[in-house]
Amino acid sequence: MAFIKINKENFFHNLSEFTKKTGSKESIAIVLKDNAYGHGLELMAKLSSEFGLTQAVVRTYNEAKKIKKYFKQILILGDRAIVDDSCSFVLNSLEDIEKAQIGSMVELKVDTGMHRNGIAMEEIEEALKGIEEKELILKGVMTHNRSADELSSELFWQQKNFEEVKKNVVSILSNKKIRFHSFNSASSLRLSCKNEDLIRLGIGAYGYSELPNIYDSLDLKPVLSLWAKRIATRQLKKGERVGYGGTFIAPKCMTISTYDLGYGDGWMRSNSFNSFIIAEGLPILGRVSMDYVILESNKDEVCIFNNALNAGKQLKTISYEITTQLHEKLERGEI
């Protein structure tokens, strides 16, 4: 089966780059949601911990349970809050406060402009009251930026709103100590991180920035590469067609091989319509099948891509989608 190589050196390099910005490893929470953006939840948790990170972010409690042994603290973005000393749960709405188990540790998400999740800025007082009544332990207040990766001043008005949220929360809670956080990778690349209690670092740790080049403040290196193995090799005569629908017609005599990667592995079939050029410079010939692609090669192993940002540009999508869709069943190993 196709397989994934995880470059530990590049991962550690990226984490070091961000550590220089935050000034400490403790203020970085590595985002491991969705199978660590397709890189492999447990492998990336293990490597993060080996590097010295102590905090992680996932989507569900189930994910958290799998990686608990590697971290002191895990933030869970989208699951019902329950009591667990090492996990805090994001409250995305006032309803989430109702649903939370009494005594659970929570972080209140405030909507500062993205209008996806979080309570309205006007609901802060009501939410804090609900949290107290429900005897929830408030660990933090957070928000998420909608345009940190675009060339605009949007990020700045949202940060301003968050400053207002902070002031409001601090004045209501008086001397209770909680943490505030709003930075994802793009915000961390654009702004100083020195005063942040925590950054929630996703895509940057995996080696990508979707920001315009002028923000290339850190030297990031891709962590994941996708490989496929040769199944069978044959000779094509000029004019013979390849694959479903016979969409590729050999312009000359060719040596071609099938490789064991397909849309069943998370490599989109729509990729065949653009003739995706793999890392080795070869186009995928004809349509992508469920388990196979065809290339003009007879190598035993070929690298399909080693830079999801470039692969995403070819396919008119973002690096996040290219890696995240790679199926869990693919074997992942560090190099």
Ligand X SMILES: *Cc1c(COP(=O)(O)O)cnc(C)c1O
Report, as residue numbers or ranges, the catalytic residues: 33, 244
In this structure, what DSSP letter does residue 298 have? -
Window of 39-47, 63-71, 183-191, 234-242 that interacts with ligand X by CB under 6 A: 183-191
Q: Which is nearer to ligand X, 295 or 309 (CB)?
A: 309
Among 158, 185, 258, 271, the residue binding ligand X under the rule CB under 6 A is 185
Token pair 């990336």 in the structure block, residue: 44
Part in contact with ligand X (CB under 6 A); list of ranges 62-70, 93-101, 198-206, 212-220: 198-206
Question: Token pair of 20, please?
Answer: 């220089």
Give the nearest distance from C-beta 290 to ligand X in angstroms.
29
Helix (H) or strand (E) holding 46: helix 41-51
Quote the least distance from Cβ 181 to ligand X, whole Å. 8
Contact status: 77 vs ligand X (CB under 6 A)? yes
CB of 22 to ligand X, least distance (A): 13
> Which residue lies nearer to ligand X by CB, 140 or 262?
140
Summarize the chain as % helix, strand, coil (round to 5): 35, 25, 40
Answer yes or no: are the C-beta atoms of 101 and 114 closer than 8 Å: no
Residue selected from 193, 203, 218, 284 as contacting ligand X according to rule CB under 6 A? 203
Least distance (Å) between residue 200 CB and ligand X: 4
Alpha helices in 145-231 (DSSP H): 154-173, 185-190
By CB under 6 A, the residues from 14 to 33 that bind ligand X are 31, 33
User: Are the CB atoms for 318 and 210 separated by under 8 Å?
Assistant: yes
Q: Counting beta carbons within 10 angstroms of the beta carbon of residue 198, is it exposed (0 to 12), middle (13 to 18) or buried (19 or more)?
A: buried
SS3 119: strand
Task: Mark the segment that binds ligand X (CB under 6 A) among 66-74, 199-207, 211-219, 323-331.
Answer: 199-207
Single-letter code of the amino acid located at 84: D
> Tokens in use for 296?
């003009």
Largest separation between any pair of C-alpha atoms in the chain: 79
Residue 144 in contact with ligand X, rule: CB under 6 A: yes
Instruction: Please choose, out of 130-138, 196-204, 211-219, 224-232, the segment that lies near ligand X by the rule CB under 6 A.
Output: 196-204
What is the helix (H) or strand (E) element at residue 133, kind and residue range? helix 124-133
Q: How many angstroms separate the CA atoms of 109 and 135, rounded?
A: 18
- Which residues within the stretch 101-120 sit at the binding site for ligand X (CB under 6 A)? none
Judged by CB under 6 A, does residue 332 bind ligand X? no
CB 6 → ligand X: shortest distance, Å? 17
Residues making contact with ligand X (CB under 6 A) = 31, 33, 77, 144, 184-186, 200-204
